[in-house]
Structure 1
């Protein structure tokens, strides 16, 4: 399945892997120090822009850092938001990619859509950080914004 996905990636404009997903794509470990280089490596290997999501990076920072590699211009952009202390993070990846697609459909540029999408998801995480719904990791709160 991973090989089929790798064959498909050059046909899309943007991929939004989290750290474990990105590590599967390139067979390398990713950490806070090499995120920029790894986003660029993925982008060049698969000929696609990459939003490498930093939520799985082990660090003690109060800042959440995502790395956006723009394949067309070969540039790297850093997107930061406050890190929210919560386990209610179920649905963040799907919500992020969907919000980016929604902002693109509204006519925003890729850069603007990604920044707006990252900010939206961060706000939804913060809005749902104390909610209790079922057992385990709860969902983010899209409606508490």
Structure 2
């Protein structure tokens, strides 16, 4: 069973399953995050939805490149969480199935490809304060609690 974080599903709404992949991207003792204009979540882990027919790790590479402009290596799955939200950009009530990976940013290819995205690098010690998304915070807690994951 995949643990739910955040608010319970709205009982009077039908939620559509939205599988997605997201990355924790440590750079030394800092964490690379993305900021998206117009989002309800000021800073978040880079990532997003898996396109139909797309493999999760391929989606992870694509989403990180689109939202940060970075190429990543060595993705390692660290967990999955469910979250029920209203996605205003799609006018959709969603059950987000969020699979989180720990990966290494290896090369900045350029600026983010998606309009409205900006990269932010914050101290690892402060990252939990910047992340408003309960899945992102849960993944960060798991990585911090697992010896050796962050090097």
TM over 0.5: no
- Which one scores higher on RCO, CA 8 angstroms, separation ≥ 6? 2
More helix by share: 1
